[in-house]
Amino acid sequence: MYQKHCDQCHRSSFSSSELGGWLCPVCGKDLTKYPFFDAMTLERIHIKAIPYHKKIEKYTFKHIR
């Protein structure tokens, strides 16, 4: 479980995925580029950012004949 802290409303937000956008559920601020923290230990988690669309491209077939 991942956690991010919103600096606008000062609330925590939780997610089980590191992919895709991340909006604060309270105020709607975009938290996508904010650092991830482990929800249990509050230690910062360093995740290698892979754009979502590039990851999906690996698993799709462009031309099927």
Q: What is the pLDDT of residues 37-64, one digit of tens each?
A: 888 888 888 776 555 555 556 665 665 5
For residue 15, the model assigns a pLDDT of 86
Provide the 8-state DSSP code for 35: P
pTM: 0.62
Per the rule left: phi > 0, alpha: psi between -120 and 50, beta: everything else, 40 is: alpha
**Upper half-sphere CA count for residue 2 (Cβ side, 13 Å):** 16
Q: Which amino acid is at 64?
A: I
User: What's the rounded mean pLDDT across residues 11-24?
Assistant: 87
